[in-house]
Amino acid sequence: MEIPEMDASLQSRLQNLFNGATRVTVLTGAGISAESGIPTFRGPEGLWNDYKPEDLATPEAFARDPELVWRWYDWRRGLVAKARPNAAHTALAALERRTAVSVITQNVDGLHTQAGNRELIELHGNIWKVRCTACAVISANTEVPLRAIPPRCARCQRVVRPHIVWFGEAVDPYDYQRSVEMTRSADLFLAIGTSGLVHPAAGLARVAKTAGVTVVEINPDETPQSPLADLVIRDRASHVFEGLNFA
């Protein structure tokens, strides 16, 4: 899709909103990571060996064939390992050094942490963490490729699973409540590269609007949350943030 040249007046309005904000909360989705070369979950490039992600990222699929699910995640981790934070990631980290910024992400790639954001909620988990199916211990695993499929828990030697929220599973209620509180306490809320279709994150723009928070959407495409936004910028996030100054 060809995106028109960004309107300088929109960028100026966004810069003024940042300059006047004392607390910013940002929700990011797959669009921001796609700019770093990570395939979107539902895009055609997200397919693997003719399997749909929806058929693999479920507790039922893992119970049925953990080796198959882990082979898919091993492939995905290989793609993510090559990615680097883009201009939007690094700008949000730079903004956090200047003012209070909270990032809530639906992405599992860890790019916000790489960029330097510290107040971060990974609402759907992290692809570089694993959780034991027996003792529930969560630990880091950054092997690319994995040495053993499926990998096992260092403590009890039982099979581990990706520490990711799968289809049919609920996000951590504590993380979601913190996300709501961060959204309500902000004076500026941004939805960047998120489809507005996956709940409960999709409801945060409405939470912000109801609380009287200024809402900005940065997305090349219209979404269900577009009507809630006070400012809509139809552009790629990296392009938008390249023109902003957070020094």
Can you give the pLDDT of all 247 residues of the chain as single tens digits? 334 445 778 989 999 999 999 999 999 999 999 999 997 765 555 556 667 777 899 999 999 999 999 999 999 999 999 999 999 999 999 999 999 999 999 999 999 999 999 999 999 999 999 999 999 999 999 999 999 999 999 999 999 999 999 999 999 999 999 999 999 999 999 999 999 999 999 999 999 999 999 999 999 999 999 999 999 999 999 999 998 988 7
Q: Which residue has the tokens 């990032």?
A: 103
Domain ranges of the chain: 7-37+85-124+171-247, 39-82+127-164
Sequence letter at residue 30: A
* Contact criterion met (CB below 8 Å) for 138 and 130: yes
Cα gap 58→155, rounded to integer Å: 25
Cα gap 91→87, rounded to integer Å: 6
Q: Which residue has the tokens 């759907």?
A: 124
Tell me the pTM: 0.93
Q: CATH number of the domain at 7-37+85-124+171-247, out of 2.60.40.10, 3.40.930.10, 3.20.20.60, 3.40.50.1220?
A: 3.40.50.1220
Q: Which of 89, 112, 124, 163 is catalytic?
A: 124
Compute the CA torsion angle 170, 172, 177, 182 (nearest 10 deg): -110
- 124 tagged catalytic: yes
Superfamily holding 39-82+127-164: SIR2/SIRT2 'Small Domain' (3.30.1600.10)
Handedness of CA 196, 223, 53, 122 (dihedral sign): negative
The upper half-sphere exposure of residue 27, i.e. CA atoms within 13 Å in the direction of its Cβ, equals 34
Task: Look at residues 10, 51, 7, 53 and name the one whose alpha carbon lies nearest to residue 30.
Answer: 53
